[in-house]
Amino acid sequence: MQRYTPALIVFDLDGTLADTIKDIADSVNRVIALYGFGPHDVDAYKRMVGDGFLSLIEKAIPDDAVRNIELVQEILARAVQEYAAHSLDATRPFDGAKETLKLLSDREIQLAVLSNKPQDLSASIVGALFRDIPFIAVWGNLPDRPRKPNPAAVLQICELANIAPQNCAFVGDSSIDMKTAKAAGMTAVGALYGYRSREELLDAGADFLIASPQDLIALFGAE
């Protein structure tokens, strides 16, 4: 694909802009321990995140417990509450992320965030870590907002920016993000420094791969 400079870049949050995995792992492990379920290591959580908190809880507890819908909802509520209280304990922007966002913004490229993390958590984390970045939207999961890889939300962001999807790029670290980009008709950029593998990103249709946030500057000719 020929290199171009997109008018809008939409970013995933976890594993793309911020390294959030330790706080997620620690919070969920503390809650599931209350129910007698064993913990998972950080690498396991890297494979479990990406499809929203409900999916994460369903993957973190035993299969027989998943069949108890009331129990799942109880654990989910407690885990979200626990994580909200500890979401910035160890979470940090990836090296170069803030500087890259500033450079892209200075080149008049519009920026947005779309995460499957709950809306309030997405907004609070981005607000704390990237308060100086003029995102046009910071969207997380809401009951009436389809989760990625459904492209509806990212297409709404394109409409908000008044930019056609083919003039936009989506940057993320998972197959869910790549599938979202392809379904929306956007350029799909896979973040190799995130939580998933090169193979997963390529299999899901990544147009480009980056080894660091700074690679976006050269990739899109925004030097």
Q: Starting at the edge strand that comes first in sequence, how are the strands of the sheet with 208-210 ordered? A: 137-141, 110-118, 8-11, 168-172, 187-191, 208-210
Ramachandran class of 5: left when φ > 0, alpha when ψ lies in -120 to 50, beta otherwise: beta
- CA–CA separation, 97 and 182 (whole Å): 24
Residues designated as active site: 12
With beta carbons less than 8 A apart as the criterion, state whether 57 and 28 touch: yes
* Cα 21–Cα 22–Cα 28 angle in degrees, nearest 5: 90
